[in-house]
Amino acid sequence: MKLRQRYFNFQEDAEAAFAAIGCDDAGIQIMKEKALFCCFELKDISLRAAIILKQEMMALGGEVVVSREVMTLQPEKTTVIILGTEKQYAKLWQKLAQQPFGCKEVALLLKEYLERKKAASEKQEFDIGGKKISFAKPVIMGIVNITPDSFFDGGKYLNTEAAVQHAKQLVADGADILDLGAESTKPGSDPVKEEEELRRLLPVLDALQESPEIKVPISIDTYKPAVAEACIKRGAHIINDITGMQNPKMREIAAQYRVPIIIMHMQGSPKTMQENPQYVNVVDDILDFLQQQIQVCHGEGIRQIICDPGIGFGKTVKQNLEILNRLKEFEMLHVPLMIGTSRKSFIGKIVGGNADDRLEGTIASNVVALANNGHIFRVHDVKQCRRALDMTAAILRVKRESKEERKEKAA
């Protein structure tokens, strides 16, 4: 059995989802207007549990979309979409907990989701290197590529002095975090040996540690445990792992030094990831991976976790766009979400031009990501993205405040 949070921004999206699980046309027309609430898709639920679930939710004023076959009592297992408010879900799980046929398992999933969401909303900041990073506003991660071959700025900051000056400028422009990387992970790239990666990284890291102008946390973009540990010992604060913390040694280091981690999803390796990536359902598949890795990391004592769906890492243009459209579904991870679209090739395939021509597309994708509950934005162009995201946040904040004011007046 699997629980998935679903968001429908438009009734057309709800209609398509209802039709996909086998709901008849009359039912779709009745229920589509109720879909713009908090929606969950529940897979592999028993037939009896689905019937009880529908009865109990309807009694609370909500709705459950089921396949027409449920009414014929034919399938042993089915998929349903639950439509309701959080208040209704809080009552629903308590009612289901008293019912048989797998309803207790559904109750436990809903209860766990509501508790984790409440805990996540109450703690919207991390303590990183002694600095509080709040996710109540957009967090900008500035990219410092100490590489000869990165797709946009390869070779520009390979020199230590140039990299340090660039990092200082990013902080002056509004970066909340610096992300240092010394190995290109663009599509088709070859790996770099540990010794070479450290040779590039450590002088820059040391210089930044000594600079009074650098008061922000420093992330290390690496999937090699030895590189991560050496940098943490020299003062780095975050491990940004494109392989999703699958290496037990990397998890051991993160737990030992109690540093935040970034778990990214990638299909394949940088060398092969763009060779016809395939998914059953791109968002569901990514969520499965991230949920699994969060559980593994929690089990090994790692508490401060950020997730990255890995846009451009083993995804087609259409799949990247689908991820951006469905980012709200990642809320159920209950961790901050990082988005890395900056100047990537999928933008060029839509608007044209090379990496130098993708700033506007980068800003647009980040604005959409923020509106869909993204938290951290990994970018090359800090000043421009900072301004665009701060403006977007102000607009969204007014919308939320107006909604809260209406609630207070109604009460």
DSSP per residue, 235-296: T--EEEETTTT-SHHHHHHHHHHT--EEEE--SS-TTTTTSS---SSHHHHHHHHHHHHHHH
Do 56 and 170 belong to one domain? no
Rounded Cα distance, 223 and 245, in Å: 8
- Is residue 406, in this structure, part of any structural domain at all? no
- Is residue 322, in this structure, part of any structural domain at all? yes
Closest to 37 in 3D by CA, of 82, 94, 104: 82
Do 118 and 129 belong to one domain? no
- Is residue 225, in this structure, part of any structural domain at all? yes
pLDDT exceeding 90 applies to what percent of the chain?
Answer: 65
Determine the pLDDT at residue 405: 58
Residue 306 phi, psi (nearest 5): -120, 145
The total number of structural domains in the chain stands at: 2
Query: Quick check: 409 pLDDT over 70?
Result: no
Do 364 and 235 belong to one domain? yes
- Is residue 166, in this structure, part of any structural domain at all? yes
**In contact, 383 and 173? CB cutoff 8 Å:** yes
pTM of the model: 0.85
Do 221 and 101 belong to one domain? no
* Residue 117 lies in domain: 2-122
Domain with 214 in it: what CATH number? Answer: 3.20.20.20
- Is residue 410, in this structure, part of any structural domain at all? no
Determine the pLDDT at residue 258: 96
Do 214 and 238 belong to one domain? yes
Do 160 and 101 belong to one domain? no
Taking CA 362 as the corner, what is the angle to CA 361 and CA 365, rounded to the nearest 5 degrees? 85
Do 217 and 92 belong to one domain? no
Do 201 and 265 belong to one domain? yes
Do 210 and 251 belong to one domain? yes
Do 219 and 304 belong to one domain? yes
Which range (23-37, 116-130, 208-222) has the least confidence? 23-37
User: Per residue in 302-350, pLDDT tens?
Assistant: 999 999 999 999 999 999 999 999 999 999 999 999 999 999 999 999 9
List residues bridging with 138 in a β-sheet: none
- Is residue 409, in this structure, part of any structural domain at all? no
One of 315, 344, 358, 386 is an active-site residue; which one?
344
- Is residue 280, in this structure, part of any structural domain at all? yes
Do 148 and 44 belong to one domain? no
343 included as an active-site residue: no
Determine the pLDDT at residue 256: 97
Rounded Cα distance, 82 and 92, in Å: 11
CB-based burial label for 245 (10 Å; 0-12, 13-18, 19+): buried
344 included as an active-site residue: yes
Last residue of a domain, one of 122, 149, 166: 122
One of 378, 383, 406, 407 is an active-site residue; which one?
378
Query: Quick check: 162 pLDDT over 60?
Result: yes
Do 11 and 139 belong to one domain? no
- Is residue 404, in this structure, part of any structural domain at all? no
Last residue of a domain, one of 76, 107, 122: 122
Last residue of a domain, one of 99, 122, 145: 122
Q: Which helix (H) or strand (E) holds 88?
A: helix 86-96
- Under the banding of pLDDT at 50, 70 and 90, the label for residue 406 is low
Helix axes 282-299, 317-325, angle to 10 degrees: 70
